[in-house]
Homo-oligomer: A and B are copies of this chain.
């Protein structure tokens, strides 16, 4: 349970808010590279409560800029993206990706007024199909975080995103909560398959125990279930500040693929859920990608794309609204819920969105009752609230900002003797130094 003040601090992301200041210390995934074509239409986006435009100039550089012309406030969305700049159609003022005014034809030719006018612009970087932006105070931003999905060759990555109509924290809490998968995403009335060890342990032990280890990037999470006598099955996942997770689907593979979400706040009540499936060692197979869509399987439906999205709208992020959404109760299938799966919405992301959005736009955490299974959530909140206080009081840079290399971590699933140390048992794999999962699972 949080106090009302803590809940406010934790959830609000706008300019000048304590948590908004924390989030502005990190690079943010802003748009996919494919969303902005050179000299193409400007794209409306929203990040941390700020409405912005993204556009790619003739030279390929991506600008992320304020949406209104500094002259008299006309919308640059209606502007002309031409010859290395975005030109307002009201009076022809033109700006480059850095926000400099490079033409002002409505003023006398001898005027120096255009040197005094700037359009707000944030630095961008582009890597592996993602355009990142830095909305923070440093003149020289830090390095991009070395998240493995952002570094593998394109054939080893499958990425998508979807809009969620809730505050980012309740999305993140769901994402790093190791206890919910065995319920919310569980199949129903299906025989155990002895070849799928993970599933057997999941269904066998519904009362897992949790252990947490603080790290430079956030928290390493160990979920312990009983395996064979004298042995434990450990699921190792991660919370990477400020809003990433890393999780596993693999089972008995030597070169397994993995998943990661990033819940980037669009504003206080809307979140862009970025989803990445990647393999450090080999290209993703078609079957593998297809399985992420197979809704009846545990973990199926993490990606939401194509037919599973609504037709694009002109709103920021409007191309990424799920067809299963609040307006239709997430296409809940009550018959399926009685027969084949624990929850009614089709697929993992729809299930997560249903539950997380049902809490209200910003959940009132003065009303919750946390149990032992919520240790991860409690740790994450404490980390973020302490970061907000430390930044406000002494300018302390939040965890991970200046340790970008530590983000190169992977999830793991290992069976260990009861006496073994789970947090060190697979370090070579987890830290990305090995390409083969060390323990059969």
User: What is A's interface to B at a CB cutoff of 8 Å?
Assistant: 41, 68, 70-75, 77-78, 80, 89-92, 104-109, 111, 113, 116-117, 170, 173, 179-180, 183-184, 206-207, 209, 314, 327-330, 332, 334, 337, 342-345, 351, 354-356, 358-360, 363-365, 367-374, 377
Question: What are 14 A-B residue pairs whose CB atoms fall within 8 Å in the complex?
Answer: A68-B359, A68-B360, A72-B173, A72-B370, A73-B368, A75-B358, A78-B354, A78-B355, A89-B351, A92-B206, A105-B207, A106-B207, A106-B371, A109-B207
Q: Which of A70, A80, A111, A116 has the most CB of B within 10 A?
A: A80
Chain B residue with Cβ nearest A364: B73
Chain B residue with Cβ nearest A337: B80
Contacts of A72 in B (CB 8 A): 173, 359, 363, 368, 370, 374, 377
Are A113 and B371 closer than 8 Å at their CB atoms? yes
Contact A107:B183 (CB < 8 A) given known A89-B355, A359-B72: no
Contacts of A359 in B (CB 8 A): 68, 72-75
Residue from B183, B314, B377 within 8 A of A92 (CB atoms): B183
Are A372 and B111 closer than 8 Å at their CB atoms? yes
Q: A75-B358, A89-B184, A90-B184 provided; 18 other pairs, C-beta below 8 A?
A: A68-B359, A71-B369, A72-B370, A74-B358, A75-B359, A77-B329, A78-B330, A78-B344, A78-B355, A80-B342, A89-B342, A90-B180, A90-B355, A91-B183, A106-B183, A106-B371, A107-B371, A314-B327
* Number of this chain's copies in the complex: 3
The 6 residue pairs across chains A and B that have the minimum distance between CB atoms: A75-B358, A73-B359, A89-B343, A74-B355, A92-B183, A106-B373
Residue from B74, B92, B334, B358 within 8 A of A41 (CB atoms): B334
Contacts of A373 in B (CB 8 A): 91, 106-107
Are B108 and A372 closer than 8 Å at their CB atoms? yes
A382 smallest CB distance to B (angstroms): 16
Residue from B75, B179, B355, B371 within 8 A of A355 (CB atoms): B75
Contact A314:B342 (CB < 8 A) given known A107-B207, A359-B72: no
A345 vs B91: C-alpha distance in the bound complex, in angstroms? 16
Contacts of A74 in B (CB 8 A): 355-356, 358-359
Contact A371:B104 (CB < 8 A) given known A78-B345, A342-B89: yes
Are A368 and B107 closer than 8 Å at their CB atoms? no
A107 vs B369: C-alpha distance in the bound complex, in angstroms? 12
Are A368 and B332 closer than 8 Å at their CB atoms? no
Contact A358:B77 (CB < 8 A) given known A71-B371, A179-B91, A374-B72: yes
A170 vs B358: C-alpha distance in the bound complex, in angstroms? 32
Chain B residue with Cβ nearest A358: B75
Contacts of A209 in B (CB 8 A): 108
A370 vs B70: C-alpha distance in the bound complex, in angstroms? 9
A105 vs B373: C-alpha distance in the bound complex, in angstroms? 10
Contacts of A365 in B (CB 8 A): 73
A344 vs B374: C-alpha distance in the bound complex, in angstroms? 53
Contacts of A327 in B (CB 8 A): 314
Contacts of A90 in B (CB 8 A): 180, 183-184, 355
Are B107 and A73 closer than 8 Å at their CB atoms? no
A330 smallest CB distance to B (angstroms): 8
Chain B residue with Cβ nearest A329: B314
Are B117 and A369 closer than 8 Å at their CB atoms? yes
A316 smallest CB distance to B (angstroms): 13
Contacts of A371 in B (CB 8 A): 71, 104, 106-107, 111, 113
Contacts of A68 in B (CB 8 A): 358-360, 367
